[in-house]
Amino acid sequence: MASGKSMSKNKRSGQIFFWTMVILPLVQFCIFYVGVNFNSIILAFKSYENHTGVIVQDWVGFENFQTILHDWNTSLLLKTAVKNTFKYLAIDILIIMPATMLFAYYIYKNFALSNLFKVLIFAPSIICIMVLVIFFKGFMEDAVSQVIYKTTGTYIESMFLKRKYAFYPLTIFYIMFGFSGNILIYLNAISNISTSMLEAATIDGASEFKIFIQIVLPSIYKTCVSLLVISVSAIGSNQAYLHSFYGSSNAPEYARTLGYHLFDLVATSGVDGDNPTQYPIASAYGLVITFIVAPVTLTMRWLLNKYGPSED
């Protein structure tokens, strides 16, 4: 009996300790994730206006969604933002993902200058983004523009504010910074591949290209799918570092992405009579994007996992 009571007491103490440790994270999750996101959903069906210094909220039903539909039909800014967003998505899928996989394999195999590549590629993830932006802007507008001027006779002033030229340096920076984030993930995935399998392929005379295509790629395929899903699901939030280059509301219309457009809606919202807050519109945009992107992302993930290569 004494032993049973002791076990019951220990079990009760363990349960008290467990709930003491998890209660705070659970409360935080309920308030700052469930509560905040639920309020954001409700916000899409409301409006906020300032009447003589008093903020008045009202239920407007689907009015905010009608506004979005009207903007899509009439706003060149919104169409340009969507177009630029898909451009950066294409860069993610067609350039950054394949290049980072190859560089990760190159570093893993310790080929020539691999340590130098480690420093150059990982540096952007260590240095503050604003420092990189300031350095990159100075380099492009001072050094590169001078090279262009001396070779072609064309002087480019304020490269990042010229419609004809801005997309190119912004794209270069996007690719450079995209390397640092993904390559560490790919390198870790490749490191988990059995070295005996790679060594056996080498002994059998397989080329590095064949090893990469037939062994490495199938082995890290699930990692590739995960990163691809993240890229697609981030369509509505990808700012392409425009805020770091231009700040709030200063990015030219031809360079904006959908993520920057939504950020700008929230950042420029005011409570004065001339500019009622745009939070409800931003919330409605979020729901619309979610309803479009979520099924596409889940379907794409299912197809890639079902019909993709297997490690076997």
DSSP 181-240: HHHHHHHHHHHTS-HHHHHHHHHTT--HHHHIIIIIHHHTHHHHHHHHHHHHHTTTT--T
Residue 180 belongs to some domain of the structure: yes
Residue 36 belongs to some domain of the structure: no
pLDDT beyond 70 at 202: yes
pLDDT beyond 70 at 5: no
Q: What is the pLDDT of residues 42-100, one digit of tens each?
A: 888 988 876 666 777 888 888 889 988 888 888 888 899 999 999 999 999 999 999 88
Over pLDDT 90: what percentage of the chain?
A: 10
Q: What is the CATH number of the domain that holds 227?
A: 1.10.3720.10
Q: How many domains does the chain have?
A: 1
Residue 46 belongs to some domain of the structure: no
In the DSSP assignment, the letter for residue 251 is S
Residue 99 belongs to some domain of the structure: yes
Contact 134, 241 (CB under 8 A): no
pLDDT beyond 60 at 272: no
Contact 244, 176 (CB under 8 A): no
Identify which of 176, 163, 160 has the alpha carbon closest to the alpha carbon of residue 242. Answer: 160
Rounded to whole angstroms, what are the CA distances from 146 to 131, 158, 171, 250, 290?
22, 12, 20, 25, 45
Quick one: pLDDT at residue 87?
93
Structure tokens at 289: 């994007």
Instruction: With cut-offs at 50, 70 and 90, classify the pLDDT of residue 6.
Output: low
Long-range contact pairs involving 236-239 (C-beta distance under 8 Å, separation at least 24): 236/262, 236/285, 236/286, 236/289, 236/290, 236/293, 237/262, 238/85, 238/88, 238/89, 239/263
Q: What is the pLDDT of residues 214-245, one digit of tens each?
A: 888 888 998 899 889 988 988 888 998 998 88
Expressed as residue numbers, the domain containing 303 is 75-307
Residue 210 belongs to some domain of the structure: yes
Contact 166, 252 (CB under 8 A): yes
Residue 42 belongs to some domain of the structure: no
Residue 235 belongs to some domain of the structure: yes
**Mean pLDDT across 262-285:** 75
Q: At what angle do helices 279-307 and 63-74 cross, to 10 degrees?
A: 80
Phi/psi of residue 58, nearest 5 degrees: -150, 150
- Global confidence as pTM: 0.81
Residue 176 belongs to some domain of the structure: yes
Q: What is the mean pLDDT of the chain?
A: 83
pLDDT beyond 70 at 129: yes
As to burial, measured by CB atoms within 10 angstroms (0-12 exposed, 13-18 middle, 19+ buried), residue 312 is exposed
Quick one: pLDDT at residue 90?
93
Q: What is the pLDDT of residues 95-120, one digit of tens each?
A: 999 988 888 888 888 888 777 777 77
